[in-house]
Amino acid sequence: MVAARIPYGPERREQMADYSLRRYGERSADLMPHAIVVHFTESPDDPWVTINFFAGNQPNAGTLPGVCTHFLIDKVGTIYDLVATDTRCRHAVGLNHVALGIEVVQSTEGHSSHWADDQILARQPQMDALIALIGQLQQQFSIPTDRVQGHGTADTDPEFKDLTGMRNDHTDIGPDAVAEIRRRLEATP
Ligand SMILES: [Zn+2]
């Protein structure tokens, strides 16, 4: 695990707390994880391009805080630790109040997101790291396998909530990939 904590000071925490009030009805930036949402980055292979983007805290859809993730896994399976697990990150509409985020480095390269999902599933070092990390987080926070989601299945989670009526419009890590990730988690002792 590579230490790669992004700046997350009082100002960004306040922005996350305000976001949480608008979306979830409670003003907090604290996280007690009940779920995990897996994403792919749609970025170049260099993980630092994505890490530096998250660190920049740029507005997303016109509002702050910027998007981020707790962990990122590059194509050779190195895991980067970006944000503490007790702090909320803005990574999936409807679930940021309960879910950890894991970004997997992959881009669609002009193909579908399903194609990109399949590239990840076939890349052994990256998948091994993903399954190991999820397994460890499940154990640490007692998260059941059916609460491991992809961004493409986040709307179906039992704790999905958004007071503004928004739904996810991202399809990264769709239902087929989620089913395969869950299958591998169940097959791993
Ligand atoms: Zn995503």
Q: Mean pLDDT, to the nearest integer, of 160-186?
A: 97
Ligand 1: centre distance to CA 25 (Å): 23
Residue 154 and residue 168 in contact, taking contact as beta carbons nearer than 8 Å: yes
pLDDT band at 74 (very low <50, low <70, confident <90, very high): very high
Structural tokens at position 177: 């990939």
**Helix (H, G, I), strand (E, B), or coil: what is residue 100?**
strand
- Residue 140 Cα, ligand 1 centroid: separation in angstroms? 23
Per-residue pLDDT reduced to its tens digit, 87-129 = 999 999 999 999 999 999 999 999 999 999 999 999 999 999 9
69 alpha carbon – ligand 1 mean position (Å): 10
- Taking the centre of ligand 1 as the mean of its atom positions, its distance from the CA of residue 178, in whole angstroms, is 13
Question: Angle at which helices 124-141 and 113-121 pack, to 10 degrees?
Answer: 90
**Mean pLDDT, to the nearest integer, of 149-174?**
97
Cα of 42 vs centre of ligand 1, distance in Å, is: 9
Closest CA to 88 of 13, 163, 1: 13
| 43 CA → ligand 1 middle, Å | 12
Query: How does strand 79-81 pair with strand 71-73?
Result: antiparallel
Q: Give the Å distance between the CA of 36 and the centre of ligand 1.
A: 12
Domains of the chain in start order, with CATH, are 2-187 (3.40.80.10)
Rounded distance from Cα 139 to ligand 1 centre (Å): 23
**Sheet architecture: strand order including 35-40:** 2-3, 79-81, 71-73, 99-104, 35-40, 148-150
Q: What is the pLDDT of residues 11-60, one digit of tens each?
A: 999 999 999 999 999 999 999 999 999 999 999 999 999 999 999 999 99
- Is the pTM above the cut of 0.95? yes
- What is the 11 CA–ligand 1 centroid distance (Å)? 24
